[in-house]
Amino acid sequence: MKTGNLLLLRIGFIPLVILIIVFAGCKRDDESPYLETNLVTDYSVASHWLSLPVNLKQADVFYVYPTAWYKVDDHEPDICAVDHPMMMEGARQAFARQATAFEAAGNVYAPFYRQADAHYTLSLPEAQRWQVIRDYPAKDVIAAFEYYLAHFNHGRPFILAGHSQGANVLLVLLSDYLGHHPDVYKRMIAAYVIGYPVTESYMASNKHLKFAAGPDDTGVIISYNTQSPKVLPGANPVVANNIGLVINPISWTRDETPAPASESLGSLMPDSTGQFVRVPAFADARIDLTKGVLICSSVNDSAMFRLAGTMGLGVYHSFDYPFYYFNLEENAIRRTHTYLGIK
């Protein structure tokens, strides 16, 4: 059996003992009818949605959560069922740590989707990893997005937001779907594709897409992957040797000028009771253009490793959203207001 750390990495630090108690009786993934490549999840079923809000705002958010499931048995399939209890609970935890940052900007829609085991996908060569994502997670998410457009969106502008496996899936949606639907792409306020590298080669292959250049441009991709300055090149398994495009989530610039923690709007971090609270002046941010990552040097490596250290000391993948939560919240509102022409 794998350790619980792979799940802790992505979904918000749920204690492993709780997972063992809650999920000991879960059904096996191979009972699911949605494991064949040619089948997609039926999004007319309300239970296949993590979030279906009441429309109150002028814009929407379509959120794709990070890896919230892992194989506890090597005999399990490498893809989980859309209704796997472990994944559904993990998705809810991720929503609370990430998607809530966008609730002030728009109505947050979020589908459940079949996920690939992270250990399995990260062990694959890059091309095979993309194929697995296209065959299962992205197939579901694109089907959900089409259903959302047809039944919920009603022509409103929208934000895309995701993390880790969810960001990987969004890159497929941006290239494979929005690349063929320019009318829909025109309504995209921004895409927060965080926790997976957006490379120059990806952008070169998708000429319709733009990477963010500042705090309020629209129709753009926002991306970064956070780590300590001590992490050696190639040691971050999410980034590997990919050099990603990065924007600083405090200063919203693309150069290497450091943004001190004092300029941050605050981080969302657990207190001594495990409740997530606003922590001011916690995380700084500096882009490393050579590595294609965001460097945070103001936090304690060991403390972060104890919270969620699956990928190694100094790899802050779990904290991509929490470190800069309130800056992301403010920025989503700002870009939405820019798109809508609100002063």
Q: Residues 253-294: pLDDT tens digits? A: 999 999 999 999 999 999 999 899 999 999 999 999 999 999
The phi and psi torsions of 11 (rounded to 5 degrees) equal -115, 10
> For residue 106, what is the domain's CATH number?
3.40.50
* Cα 199 to Cα 116, 319, 332, distances in angstroms: 22, 21, 22
- Residue 128 burial (CB count, 10 A): 11
Overall average pLDDT of the 113-124 stretch: 88
Residue 27 has pLDDT above 70, yes or no: no
DSSP state of 162: E
Count of domains forming the chain: 1
pLDDT for res 259: 98
User: Could you tell me if 102 and 96 are in contact, meaning their C-beta atoms sit under 8 angstroms apart?
Assistant: no
- The answer to the question of residue 59 being in a domain is yes
Q: What percent of the chain has a predicted confidence (pLDDT) above 90?
A: 78
- Residue 131 burial (CB count, 10 A): 12
Q: Choose the weakest-confidence range: 2-16, 27-41, 63-77, 225-239.
A: 2-16
* Cα 187 to Cα 34, 107, 181, 207, 324, distances in angstroms: 31, 15, 11, 17, 25
Secondary structure (3-state) at 222: strand
Split at pLDDT 50, 70, 90, the class of 38 is low
Q: Residues 68-81: pLDDT tens digits? A: 999 998 888 999 99
Q: Amino acid identity, residue 87?
A: M
User: Could you tell me if 91 and 68 are in contact, meaning their C-beta atoms sit under 8 angstroms apart?
Assistant: yes
User: Could you tell me if 81 and 34 are in contact, meaning their C-beta atoms sit under 8 angstroms apart?
Assistant: yes
- The answer to the question of residue 262 being in a domain is no
- The answer to the question of residue 266 being in a domain is no
Boundaries of domain holding 84: 5-226+320-340
pLDDT for res 310: 81
What's the chain's average pLDDT?
A: 89
- The answer to the question of residue 99 being in a domain is yes
